[in-house]
Amino acid sequence: MDQTISLRPIATEDVDFLYRVYASTRAEEMKLVDWDDAQKCAFLEMQFKAQHTYYTQQFAQAEFQIVLLDGEPVGRLYVDRRPDEIRVIDIALLPDYRNRGIGSFFLHNLFDEARRARVPVRIHVEHFNPALRLYARLGFRKIGDAGVYLLMEWPPQHKEDARG
């Protein structure tokens, strides 16, 4: 990849950008509801604030980072490193930056870290999330089902290092 991919901690001034990333992950869902744009926006803002508050309170020790491509914000990566696992709380990119290897780049970095620490990488994923194909290709397997979300795990002894 010719472009520079990096991370930086989120800051207060990133809230509008983080909202845009969040809203982009709900775009298909919002097409299905019979609401006007103002109603959709109000709903998404409420949901974003609730999610952001939950994440920062439940995962107080986690790293909340902005994904940068050539210094420009293109997504978010939230990771909680625990003694027994590396938990990907959230990874999301703006639509124009999906399917370009950016998410895989960071997941492979987490796999390397997990191998060294001998802990699995785990992530909750909604059943209908298109990223499920990527996670399966990278070697994640389902280890739990919490209704809306699957709990998936990449084991640290994973032999096949499928790059994708």
Q: What is the pTM of this model?
A: 0.90
- Continuous segment of H or E residues that includes residue 71: none
Beta-carbon neighbour count of residue 106 at 10 Å? 20
Cα–Cα nearest to 128, from 158, 148, 109, 108: 148
Length of the chain: 164
pLDDT, one tens digit per residue, over 62-111 is 999 999 999 999 999 999 999 999 999 999 999 999 999 999 999 999 99
DSSP state of 95: G
The answer as to CATH 3.40.630.30 being correct for domain 5-154 is: yes
Is the Cβ–Cβ distance between 152 and 105 less than 8 Å?
no
pLDDT, one tens digit per residue, over 118-139 is 999 999 998 888 889 999 999 9
Residue 164: band (very low, low, confident or very high) from pLDDT cuts 50, 70, 90: very low
